[in-house]
A and B are shown apart, each in its own frame.
Chain A
Amino acid sequence: MYLRALLLLLITALPLQAEEVVLGMSSDTISITTSFDGSELLIFGAVKREEPIPSEDTLEVIIAVQGPKEPLTLRRKEKKFGIWINADAVEIDLAPSFYAISTSGPFGDILSEVEDLRHKVSIPRAIRSVGAPMTVTDSQSFTEALIRIRTNNELYQLNENAVSFDEQTLFRTSIALPSDLTEGDYKTRILLTRSGKVVSSFETELDVRKVGLEKFLFDLSRQQPLVYGILSLTIAILAGWGASAIFQVFRRQ
């Protein structure tokens, strides 16, 4: 009985991870203002250890920043009646609005297939799509298209060897955030891997928010659409009236 309790105590007291991440970020909130034109996010940190560096294999770092997930519809154009129009559509259950992975080495080498499946790190794993309608036989190509389009817009990024990792202890990377960022909580994960296995992970949140006038207008348009619409019209009418009044003054001179 005593022995069992002691054992239990030992297990819980043991550090779960021999190597831990201590993290810093250039900012933990990104404010989308009227002049927002993309931003650079600096992520840096260190690996904390109680013991000397294990000698077997080198430690690697994977940093993944993931925007809020949302369901999407993907449509494919087809030529009908001589013009290109949307035909087949596939629903994607959940896809991150933004997803950037930075690694300290080639992705395939530092994270095994199995570990990727478990931790859902790579871009295709971060997207969840369940079923396509019966009429669509190649639903895979829709997911590929989603990744392709978002990669072209820098919304999905795989930056291999972009994390500089000194002495297996200090790491730093910078991630380019594009201008068309969706607001929400951005999950930031740091995974330490050795021989393709995740040995430690750390998670924090980056807050991306519209602020100031941006926030006011956006919130008003969603919460009080009628007030927003009337306000738009009032501005338009005042501007139209003001313009004719001002130029009337000019004309008289």
Chain B
Amino acid sequence: MHIYLPIAEVSVNAFVLLGLGGLVGVLSGMFGVGGGFLMTPLLFFIGIPPAVAVATEANQIVASSFSGVLAHFKRKTVDLKMGSILLVGGLIGAALGVWLFNYLKSMGQVDLLVKLCYVVFLGIIGSLMFIESLNAIRRSKKSTTTATKRRDRTWVHALPFKMRFRTSGLYISIIPPILVGLFVGVLAAIMGVGGGFVMVPAMIYILGMPTKVVIGTSLFQIIFVTGFTTLLHATTNYTVDMALAVLLLVGGVIGAQIGARVGVHLKAEQLRILLAIMVMGVCFKLALDLLLMPSELYSIAAAGGH
């Protein structure tokens, strides 16, 4: 069944979209990843214009993050104060990102920017995940766990504007969280991702937040940043496709619940390797598009690129 997407102005098979939403949903449910970083490039591959894919995916992430954060609120694993500080940085970053996005769009380079960002980030994440899960498998075979040491005082503690975060049990400067939020905001606007894959490690290793509040707090920040990004894209580029978002949502929401249940019964390390391979595969495909001579050198865009 083909469906004509009103904003993307292309006709796509509705079941392909539901399936993609479901597949990415299962993966995100199994691994607790947002899935935006897989969904957006997959949308490129089925012929959705990158600008529409990025803006619409931001909208979809609002839904999946909202669904996730509710559970964390119930468990009281959201550090609202830290979340708000991260959010301040995130909103500034999203505004910067959309501005950069629109500037490069007028130059005809936005597709390149989006794809380059994806190649770099997917490459890094894919290989890190691959190495980590290989190590995890090796460790589980030896059945010896090496405890990770946490440094108590880092450069983070030497900065001014300190604030107390009770839920996280921290007393640190607000500069690092704002910078982390800012960086994630820029990524959200340019890549159509929540940015959890950058924020979560940054919160643990740079800010030193306890692991149990990290996911909930990052989801809290992601909802508002991606929501803001959606609004900015909708008002400046008109690239949020509601029909596309709804189809992806339906697939994604069901998939996430299935994934969460399936994930419990499966061996995480082996699956993580599969996910890593998939991420690297998508990265490789995008990189090839940039490196190999395209079959059509010319492309058509609306005049002026506005």
Which residues in A have some Cβ–Cβ distance to B below 8 Å?
A: 32-38, 70-79, 82-86, 89, 91-92, 142, 145-146, 148-150, 179-180, 182, 210, 213-215, 217-218, 221-222, 225-226, 228-233, 235-237, 239-241, 243-244, 247
For B249, the closest partner residue in chain A by CB is A239
Scan B7-21; emit 1 where CB is below 8 A from any A CB, else 0: 101110000000000
6 A-B contact pairs sorted by A residue (CB < 8 Å): A37-B4, A73-B108, A83-B291, A84-B294, A233-B230, A240-B70
Contacts of B256 in A (CB 8 A): 243
For A222, the closest partner residue in chain B by CB is B238
Determine whether the beta carbon of B302 is less than 8 Å from that of A72.
Answer: yes
Determine whether the beta carbon of B298 is less than 8 Å from that of A149.
Answer: yes
Determine whether the beta carbon of A221 is less than 8 Å from that of B7.
Answer: yes
Determine whether the beta carbon of A229 is less than 8 Å from that of B230.
Answer: yes
Determine whether the beta carbon of A243 is less than 8 Å from that of B257.
Answer: yes
Determine whether the beta carbon of A241 is less than 8 Å from that of B3.
Answer: no
B contact patch SS: helix
Scan B268-306; emit 1 where CB is below 8 A from any A CB, else 0: 000000000000000000000011111011111111110
Determine whether the beta carbon of B66 is less than 8 Å from that of A240.
Answer: yes
Residue among B2, B67, B70, B71 facing the most chain A CB atoms (10 A cut-off): B67
Chain B stretch 229-276: residues in CB contact (< 8 A) with chain A: 230-231, 233-235, 238, 240, 242-243, 245-246, 249-250, 253-254, 256-257
Choose from B6, B231, B300 the contact partner of A217 (Cβ within 8 Å). Answer: B6
For B298, the closest partner residue in chain A by CB is A145
Determine whether the beta carbon of B300 is less than 8 Å from that of A35.
Answer: no
Choose from A36, A84, A89, A92 the contact partner of B293 (Cβ within 8 Å). Answer: A84
B112: interface (CB < 8 Å): yes
Contacts of A35 in B (CB 8 A): 1-4
Which residues in B have some Cβ–Cβ distance to A below 8 Å?
A: 1-4, 6-7, 9-11, 59-60, 62-68, 70-71, 108-109, 111-112, 116, 227, 230-231, 233-235, 238, 240, 242-243, 245-246, 249-250, 253-254, 256-257, 290-294, 296-305
For B66, the closest partner residue in chain A by CB is A240
The 4 closest A-B pairs by CB, nearest first: A229-B234, A240-B66, A145-B298, A71-B303
A36 in contact with B11 given A89-B108, A149-B296, A236-B249 (CB within 8 Å): yes
For A155, the closest partner residue in chain B by CB is B300
Separation of A183 and B162 alpha carbons in the complex (Å): 57
For B301, the closest partner residue in chain A by CB is A73
Separation of A64 and B211 alpha carbons in the complex (Å): 66
Determine whether the beta carbon of A240 is less than 8 Å from that of B6.
Answer: no
Separation of A79 and B66 alpha carbons in the complex (Å): 43
Separation of A34 and B63 alpha carbons in the complex (Å): 23
Determine whether the beta carbon of B4 is less than 8 Å from that of A179.
Answer: yes
Determine whether the beta carbon of A232 is less than 8 Å from that of B71.
Answer: no
Choose from A76, A228, A244 the contact partner of B297 (Cβ within 8 Å). Answer: A76
For B112, the closest partner residue in chain A by CB is A85
Determine whether the beta carbon of A240 is less than 8 Å from that of B65.
Answer: yes
Separation of A166 and B212 alpha carbons in the complex (Å): 80
Choose from A33, A73, A85 the contact partner of B303 (Cβ within 8 Å). Answer: A73
Contacts of B238 in A (CB 8 A): 221-222, 225
Please give the distance in Å from A205's CB to the nearest CB on chain B: 21
Please give the distance in Å from A87's CB to the nearest CB on chain B: 9
Determine whether the beta carbon of B62 is less than 8 Å from that of A236.
Answer: yes
Residue among B10, B233, B298 facing the most chain A CB atoms (10 A cut-off): B298
Please give the distance in Å from A25's CB to the nearest CB on chain B: 22
Determine whether the beta carbon of B62 is less than 8 Å from that of A233.
Answer: yes
Separation of A79 and B257 alpha carbons in the complex (Å): 45
Separation of A32 and B3 alpha carbons in the complex (Å): 10
For A241, the closest partner residue in chain B by CB is B66
Contacts of A180 in B (CB 8 A): 9-11
A232 in contact with B240 given A84-B290, A239-B253 (CB within 8 Å): yes
Determine whether the beta carbon of A240 is less than 8 Å from that of B300.
Answer: no
A241 in contact with B6 given A232-B230, A232-B242 (CB within 8 Å): no
